[in-house]
Structure 1
Amino acid sequence: MYVSEWENSKRSISDRYAAILRQILGVTDGELRGSPASVAPAMADGYDELLSRIDSASSVSGSMVKSFNEQTELLRTMDRQRGASGLIDQMTGHLSALEEALNFAVLPSARRPVALALAGASTLAAWQAIDAGAVERAWRHYELAKRAARDAESPMYLAHAMGEQAYVLCEAGRPSLGLDLVRDAQRSLGQGGSPRLRAWLYAAEAELCAHAGMPDDCRRALDAAVASIPPGPEDRDPDMLSIFLNGGHLARWRGNVLAMLGDDDAVSSLYGALEIADPTFVRANAGLHTDIARAHLARAEYDDANTHLRQARLLASRTGSVRQRRRVDLLSSRL
């Protein structure tokens, strides 16, 4: 009864129910209530309040920035294991605190570390929004991440935000425009950046090329990614903590791209990735099983495809991933 009354504006959503619904649906309070996001109250006339906020921001120490980054890392870990829908309130509050600290930081020495922390948190929030199907929120978070990266004077974080933002364009049906954005990200990075980030950008380029129907460019980008990835099992870059990528992850990514091209090598590449997949990456493993199902479908191996789609659906449901469930549903319709 309440749902009908909410939908017909006969009853407003109480704060108690709003908190529950935000957790279930993975939306912000403004999105849930259909109203613009709340804004901070107007400042008092005069300068006392302004100076108070500036003084507060100037006191943000290295240990506080470290705490901000630790909170981002905790949210990232929770996201990959449990999904994004239950983290919406924590993520919104985290971004607000970082923005508040940056907005009133005056000198570059105070702004840069906070801006870098905000860039990393914003790209995480944006990817969570993509996963929840909230594409406009994702776009805005990527714009925030790019502004923060420029403020931090960090070409790496800027290139990463641009590369991930390209996926919003791709999923909106504009893969060619997304490909242009990825290539702009590569140009903005130039010869700088870590090898792991360059490999990530090449792999993203390959995936966008596959979506755009450019198989030759796709294979060239895959080869460049394989040539760039550092050897060994390590998947984190100390200068680019937003990226998880090693040879095993890249094998999975390569298999996904080859499956889109209908290449027979996709199956062996994906099964190799499955053998070494980290079980804590629950949503990523849902994607991996979906990729394997796609590869089997391309070979008309319907029983195998159905087996992996069932596993993908189970994992996607555990994390509440709208994006992965949509992929599973699209492939299931072909069985």
Structure 2
Amino acid sequence: MDVASTASLRVYVSDWENSKRKIPDRYAGILRKLLGVTDAELRGAGAAVSVPAADGYDELLGRIDSAGSVSASMVQAFNDQTELLRTMDRQRGAASLIDQMTGHLAALEEALSFAVLPDARRPVALALAGASTLAAWQAIDSGAVERAWRHYEMAKRAAHDAEAPMYLAHAMGEQAYVLCEAGRPALGAELVRSAQRTLGQAGSPRLRAWLFAAEAEMCAHAGMPDDCKRALDAAAAVVPPGQEDRDPDMLSIFLNGAHLLRWRGNVLALLGDDEAVSDLYGALEDMDPTFVRARAGLYIDLAQAHLARAEYDEATTHLRQARRLAGRTGSVRQRRRIDLLSERA
């Protein structure tokens, strides 16, 4: 795309940062994708408030009628869009998808806000719960922690509306990562345990294994090695056997024995356990190459495991690979981990 010269851009950026001029829509579109922010976050203001007509009942009823006519095929279209965004996210990263994700959530919220009867609300709420959880994880990856928290709250409300304890438990489990990133891993562990109680024994074995593994990771960050290893053993005991990794009841969950091995390696690396290295190399051989961000995370875990063994050359090699992949996805979260480990290498 044609943009202004470097000298002019310096002036523009300074003016935008100091609110001396408004960001034109053309540049806003570039900056949203570059920085992984919403339009409101970029411009520093909420959307304009529209003034309602004196009698807004016709418009309200029109929206209610429109929401009430959301068909099963339209809900499927919403879910297909979420699936497309999920696939693009794991291959390209979150930053470039900010506009699509924002519009997708807005359409789902609109449909749910004006759906009146439970039979009309439940399928839309379920679609919103899945999409909000994906958007929240993308926000964590982009370093937008407040946006992530709000999306998880939206996902939990939608899961309540849909009467879907699996979606509620998953949103709670992922929300624990916001607490962990903020330096409260022990509180994150408690939130994951609350999610496990919410789910009970009714949820799928794959989701239960996912929650146990998430608990183990929180405990590792919190310096609770015994609790961590108990949770890892619990995850290994319930994860379904075989190569299949996707949970048919929770499409956002990808977990099998190989994935759990990688997760175990990550957790053991956090504890400084020597077994981490062999687990992580085993996971690297089996990893799907289309999971670009996950592969970057695996190289980061390997670097951390080698650093715990004072193997600095190996750690540096893996950090170089991780930085290359994190550059492809634009992951702020991974770049932060890489920078911290690079200081020790």
Cα-Cα RMSD: 0.9
Give 2:61's aligned residue.
51
Give 2:105's aligned residue.
95
Q: Secondary structure at the match of 1:179?
A: helix
**Consecutive unaligned residues in structure 2, runs of 5 or more:** 1-10
Give 1:123's aligned residue.
133
* TM value normalised by structure 1: 0.98
Q: CA deviation at 1:40?
A: 6.4
Are 1:245 and 2:252 an aligned pair? no
Which of 12, 17, 20 in structure 2 is aligned with 1:2?
Answer: 12
- C-alpha distance 124-159 of structure 1, shift in aligned 2 (>3 A): same
Letter in 2 for 1:181: L
Give 2:197's aligned residue.
187
User: Per-residue displacement from partner, 1:200-229 (whole Å, max 9, x unpaired)?
Assistant: 000000000001110000000000001110
The answer to whether the 8 Å contact 1:69/1:117 transfers is yes
Letter in 2 for 1:281: F
Q: Which whole-Å CA distance do the structure 2 matches of 1:99 and 1:41 have between them?
A: 18
- C-alpha distance 39-215 of structure 1, shift in aligned 2 (>3 A): farther
Alignment of 1:39-118 (within 5 A): 41-44=50-53, 45-118=55-128
Q: Secondary structure at the match of 1:140?
A: helix
User: Per-residue displacement from partner, 1:139-181 (whole Å, max 9, x unpaired)?
Assistant: 0000000000000000000000000000000100111111110
Letter in 2 for 1:165: Q
Q: CA deviation at 1:5?
A: 1.6
Q: Which whole-Å CA distance do the structure 1 matches of 2:23 and 2:43 have between them?
A: 7
Q: Which whole-Å CA distance do the structure 2 matches of 1:8 and 1:49 have between them?
A: 39
Q: Which whole-Å CA distance do the structure 1 matches of 2:252 and 2:43 have between them?
A: 31
- C-alpha distance 109-17 of structure 1, shift in aligned 2 (>3 A): same
- C-alpha distance 113-42 of structure 1, shift in aligned 2 (>3 A): farther
Alignment of 1:177-326 (within 5 A): 177-326=187-336
Letter in 1 for 2:174: E
Q: Secondary structure at the match of 1:230?
A: coil
Q: Which whole-Å CA distance do the structure 2 matches of 1:197 and 1:246 have between them?
A: 11
Q: Secondary structure at the match of 2:253?
A: strand
Q: Which whole-Å CA distance do the structure 2 matches of 1:72 and 1:40 have between them?
A: 28
Q: CA deviation at 1:34?
A: 1.2
* TM value normalised by structure 2: 0.95
Are 1:20 and 2:2 an aligned pair? no
Give 2:162's aligned residue.
152
Q: Which whole-Å CA distance do the structure 1 matches of 2:162 and 2:50 have between them?
A: 27
Letter in 2 for 1:274: L
User: Per-residue displacement from partner, 1:292-335 (whole Å, max 9, x unpaired)?
Assistant: 00000000000000000000000000000000000000000001
Q: Secondary structure at the match of 1:242?
A: strand
Q: Secondary structure at the match of 2:125?
A: helix
The answer to whether the 8 Å contact 1:43/1:50 transfers is no
Q: Which whole-Å CA distance do the structure 1 matches of 2:234 and 2:51 have between them?
A: 51
Q: Which moved more, 1:201-210 or 1:8-17?
A: 8-17
Q: Which moved more, 1:281-290 or 1:7-16?
A: 7-16
Letter in 2 for 1:307: T
Instruction: Give percent identity, aligned residues only.
Output: 81
Letter in 1 for 2:184: R
Q: Which whole-Å CA distance do the structure 1 matches of 2:204 and 2:308 have between them?
A: 35
Q: Which whole-Å CA distance do the structure 1 matches of 2:41 and 2:64 have between them?
A: 31
Q: CA deviation at 1:8?
A: 2.1
User: Per-residue displacement from partner, 1:2-32 (whole Å, max 9, x unpaired)?
Assistant: 1112122222100110000001000001111
Letter in 2 for 1:170: C
Q: Which whole-Å CA distance do the structure 2 matches of 1:219 and 1:158 have between them?
A: 25
Q: Which whole-Å CA distance do the structure 1 matches of 2:48 and 2:159 have between them?
A: 23
Give 2:179's aligned residue.
169
Q: CA deviation at 1:39?
A: 6.1
- C-alpha distance 43-111 of structure 1, shift in aligned 2 (>3 A): farther
Q: Secondary structure at the match of 1:53?
A: helix
**Consecutive unaligned residues in structure 1, runs of 5 or more:** none
Letter in 2 for 1:85: A
Letter in 1 for 2:149: W
Letter in 2 for 1:14: P
